[in-house]
């Protein structure tokens, strides 16, 4: 019992010790580590990434993980354009670059700080809303030496964004340090007859998700169950031999009906003969009806 107590108290102290440090990471979910830290071993990754929600203001940088040599901080910018205008800076993504022992590099702990709209931009955005035009964003295709080969462009109809504030949702598909594609749009639905709606607040609430490739499921390998598999196949392999019944059912059913009809006729005939001679007890009314006229005839 004493041992148990000691252990419990130990755990308690540990948890109390660790809790303040957790609280210290105000805007960074611990899930991040699990979520984005294991990309080097994608087979263990859960397929459903959990979105990180970051506030629109730039968060202060911290140096807690600086003891890990292989990590370095990088930043890359998000540009936007209104309709066909030129691209201008709209925000910054910051992330940790993790170098793995096997040489691969991945990004973790992606955070996003969005510049708020200037008045000119607000006006431009309003114009977009009115004309139901595209709001376009772009990212470099390589985060280490931007822009890489080309920019990754994505666009959305501007009317999809406004809700309470301007809601946007990024899904960034990455392969190592390369950005392959970005899905950009509203976090919810955007039904087709898009109505003009101005946002109540001119600030962005951004959700970002980083996605890496999933591992495809392997073909199942059977060693012992091969027999079972063959049986299952064999079940299907059965040649589609058309049976006699399948071929001639349309004749057999009428034939059956005739036969049945004939049988009932045959059954009825002796019965009727019987009723004609000796009225059965079960059919008194019929007997009565028949007897009526016949007796009349006899009377005559």
Partner 1 sequence: MAIMSFIFVFFFFSSLQPILSLYEDQVGLMDWHQQYIGKVKQAVFHTHKTGRKRVVASTEQNIIATLDLRSGEIFWRHVLGPNDVVDGIDIALGKYVITLSSGGSILRAWNLPDGQMVWESSLHGPKHSKSLLLTTNLIIEKDNSLIVFSNGRLNAVSCIDGEVLWKKDFEEESLEVQQVIQPPGSDFIYVVGFAASSQFETYKINAKNGELLKHESTAFSGRFSGEVSLVSSETVAALDSTGSILLTISFHNGKISSQQTPVSNLLEDSPGLAVIIHSSVTGIFAIKTDAATIFIRVIGEGKLEVVEKTNHETVVSDALTISEGQQAFALVQHAGSNIHLTVKPAHDWDSNLLKESIKMDQQRGFVHKVFINNYIRTDRSHGFRALIVMEDHSLLLLQQGAIVWSREDGLASIIDVTTSELPVEKAGVSVAKVELNLFEWLKGHVLKLKGTLMLATPEDIAAIQYMRLKSSEKSKMTRDHNGFRKLLIALTRAGKLFALHTGDGRIVWSHLLQSLHKSESCRQPIGLNLHQWQVPHHHALDENPSVLVVGRCGPSSDALGVLSLVDSYTGKEFSSLRLVHSVAQVIPLPYTDSTEQRLHLLIDADKHAHLYPKTPEAIDIFQSEFSNVYWYSVDDDNGIIKGYALKTKCSGNVADEFCFDSRELWSIVLPSESEKIITTATRKLNEAVHTQAKLIADQDVMYKYISSNLLFVATVAPKASGEIGSVTPEESWLVVYLIDTVTGRVLHRMTHHGSQGPVQAVLSENWVVYHYFNLRAHRYEMSVIEIYDQSRADNKDVWKLVVGNHNLTSPVSSYSRAEVITKSQSYFFTHSLKAIAVTLTVKGITSKQLLIGTIGDQVLALDKRFLDPRRSVNPTQAEREEGIIPLTDSLPIIPQSYITHSLRVEGLQSIITVAAKLESTTLVFAHGLDLFFTHYAPSRTYDSLTEDFSYALLLITIVALVAAIFVTWILSQRKELQDRWR
Q: How near is the Cβ of 269 to partner 1 at its closest, in Å?
A: 7
Q: How near is the Cβ of 146 to partner 1 at its closest, in Å?
A: 12
Q: What whole-number distance in Å separates Cα of residue 170 and Cα of residue 27?
A: 18
Q: What whole-number distance in Å separates Cα of residue 289 and Cα of residue 295?
A: 10
Tell me the CA distances in angstroms from 255 to 260, 265, 268, 275, one per residue in order.
Answer: 8, 15, 19, 29
Q: How near is the Cβ of 94 to partner 1 at its closest, in Å?
A: 22
Q: What whole-number distance in Å separates Cα of residue 125 and Cα of residue 203?
A: 12
Q: How near is the Cβ of 48 to partner 1 at its closest, in Å?
A: 9
Residue 136 burial class via C-beta count within 10 angstroms: exposed 0-12, middle 13-18, buried 19 and up: buried
Q: Which of 205, 156, 158 is nearest to 185 (CA)?
A: 156
Q: How near is the Cβ of 161 to partner 1 at its closest, in Å?
A: 10
Q: What whole-number distance in Å separates Cα of residue 110 and Cα of residue 99?
A: 15
């Amino acid at each position: 019992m004493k041992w148990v107590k000691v252990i419990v108290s130990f755990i308690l102290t540990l948890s109390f010790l660790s809790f303040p440090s957790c609280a210290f990471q105000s805007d960074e979910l611990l899930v991040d580590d699990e979520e984005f830290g294991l990309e080097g071993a994608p087979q263990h990754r859960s397929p459903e990434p959990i979105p990180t929600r970051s506030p629109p203001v730039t968060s202060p940088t911290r140096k807690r993980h600086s003891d890990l040599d292989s990590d370095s901080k990088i930043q890359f910018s998000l540009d936007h354009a209104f309709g066909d205008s030129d691209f201008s800076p709209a925000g910054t993504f910051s992330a940790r670059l993790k170098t793995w022992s096997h040489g691969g590099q991945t990004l973790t702990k992606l955070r996003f700080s969005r510049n708020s709209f200037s008045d000119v931009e607000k006006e431009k955005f309003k114009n977009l809303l009115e004309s139901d035009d595209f709001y376009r964003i772009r990212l470099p295709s390589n985060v280490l030496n931007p822009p890489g080969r080309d920019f990754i462009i994505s666009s959305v109809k501007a009317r999809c964004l406004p809700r309470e504030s301007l809601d946007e949702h990024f899904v960034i598909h990455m392969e190592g340090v390369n950005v392959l594609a970005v899905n950009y749009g509203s976090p919810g639905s955007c039904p087709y007859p898009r109505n003009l709606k101005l946002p109540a607040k001119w600030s962005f609430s951004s959700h970002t998700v980083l996605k890496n490739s999933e591992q495809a499921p392997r073909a199942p390998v059977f060693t012992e169950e091969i027999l079972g598999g063959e049986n299952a196949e064999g079940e299907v392999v059965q040649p589609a031999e058309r049976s006699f019944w399948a071929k001639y059912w349309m004749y057999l059913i009428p034939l059956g009906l005739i036969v049945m009809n004939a049988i009932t006729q045959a059954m009825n005939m002796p019965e009727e003969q019987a009723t004609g001679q000796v009225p059965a007890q079960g059919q008194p009314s019929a007997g009565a009806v028949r007897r009526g006229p016949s007796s009349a005839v006899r009377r005559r």
